[in-house]
Amino acid sequence: MRDESTASEKIFTTAWHSLRCLPLVFLDRDDKRTLHSFRLAVSVSTAAYYPETRDKLSATTNKPPYLDPDSPFMDAYRSLKLALATATSTSANGRARNSELCLADGFDALTASEHYTGAALDGPNYPAKDTAEQLCSQITNKIERELDRLRESSQLTEVLANEPLWPSQFNAMELGHNYAFSEAFDTFDLKAASTPETWGFWRNWYQGFIDGKPLNWNLQRRVATEISDATWDAGPEAVAAEIERIRAEFGALHAGKERFPKHEPSSVNHLFENRVIASAGLQGLAAQVTYSIERFHAETGANALPEALEPLTALPALLLAVNSTIQEAPRDRAIASETEDQLRAEIGRLNAKVAQLENELLRASAAKPSVFSDAFKKQLGTSLGDWKLYAALCTGLWFVSGDTEGTQRRLENISHYRDMIFGDVSSPSKAASTRTTAAAESVIEI
């Protein structure tokens, strides 16, 4: 456990440190170099936040640097590259060495920024050389103390997700005089303002870390992992177009989904705590519903489900959406509030569709004469009317919902209405019913 903790400390401290040095790269004023540095930076933050992406992102460390080796801010670039190498290293020794070099290059970059400031100003508005060096030493000492604080933190993900990149103790006297940082920000702000379609995303992305309010982490991950090498190599405009596509798709995916607050659970902790069992149940239930629908189509030749059973068509996708959110959540740190909220929303959509199924079955069971002929009931009894399908639905959805009272009543209603419609053609034996009840209880107690 201590080895895992040490690895996290090195990964997060180097990510934090290197992201601070990123603006210094802007002073080279080369679009391709700036873009490549942003690629490294978003890969660093993503690899720190999502351990499962590290293998894929490790290849990014092998890309050509684009930077002039004589650049005064080569140290800032190397710090980013070494932070990613720290996160993606497969050995403790390699991680420790990369971390050490990353921190050293970061401090060298800060020192270089002071020399750059002195050379650029060299006048009455710039502190004397010994004063400037003293200020740089003060910043370095504070950063060292802050890195020690990060190493002692048990919530490193929360630091990355919620704390401003430069805490308040780095006051205006210490950073405000630094012409290198000021010019770097001004240079990039001008670039982003003049061509927002190309650089606007990156300006907002970095400002999010400065303010302690990073952009949506899932969006960051998609940018880091889904854009091809060929697109990155094609330049800023090509990457911007691909980011816009990802953002549009990401926005549509979330904005296009209606929320159902009254169907959302108050807590989803039980699913994250039992994710293996929850995932197996969700995937199995989705497969069982899909199989029943496919069997119905094959046996009847019908293109669509009966109106009373039509809500079943949406269940597999909704079940898998819940499963995907559970599986994508980090396993070795606190779950972000936005992830919990996303899971509540997915479960709300699932429960809302189940409520629709309940209403449709109620209407069908109360209809006189029956909406289904006896012959059609027999056909449905082996697929969409099969009692085993509804037993699985009731058991699985009860555990997922986290609402033992409201959901229990709804699922009991669904089972009752199914019995009223199909009971004479598909019903469990008494022994099977007893075994099913015992199985359900064993699952719910997990």
pLDDT of the chain along its 446 residues, tens only?
334 457 777 888 888 888 888 888 887 778 888 898 899 999 998 888 888 888 888 877 666 555 566 666 788 888 888 889 988 888 888 888 998 888 888 878 877 776 666 555 555 454 545 555 565 566 666 666 666 766 665 555 666 666 777 765 444 444 544 567 777 778 888 888 888 889 999 998 998 888 888 888 888 989 999 999 999 999 999 999 999 888 877 765 555 567 888 888 888 888 988 888 888 888 888 888 888 888 888 888 877 788 888 888 888 888 888 988 898 887 767 787 778 888 988 998 998 888 888 888 888 888 777 767 777 777 776 677 777 777 778 777 777 876 555 666 777 787 777 777 776 555 554 444 443 433 333 332 22
- What is the three-state SS of the chain? CHHHHHHHHHHHHHHHHHHHHHHHHHHHCCHHHHHHHHHHHHHHHHHHHCHHHHHHHHHHHHCCCCCCCCCCCHHHHHHHHHHHHHHHCCCHHHHHHHHHHHHHHHHHHHHHHHHHHHHHHCCCCCCCHHHHHHHHHHHHHHHHHHHHHHHHCCCHHHHHHHCCCCCCCCCHHHHCCCHHHHHHHHHHHHHHHHCHHHHHHHHHHHHHHHHCCCCCHHHHHHHHHHCCHHHHHHCHHHHHHHHHHHHHHHHHHHHCCCCCHHHCCCCCHHHHHCHHHHHHHHHHHHHHHHHHHHHHHHHHCCCCCCHHHHHHHHHHHHHHHHHHHHHHCCCCCCCCHHHHHHHHHHHHHHHHHHHHHHHHHHHHHHCCCCCCCHHHHHHHCCCCCCHHHHHHHHHHHHHHHCCCCHHHHHHHHHHHHHHHHHCCCCCCCHHHHHHHHHHHHHHHCC
Q: Tens digit of pLDDT for each residue in 108-133?
A: 887 777 666 655 555 545 454 555 55
Q: Tens digit of pLDDT for each residue in 12-24?
A: 888 888 888 888 8
Query: What pTM, to 2 d.p., does this model score?
Result: 0.56
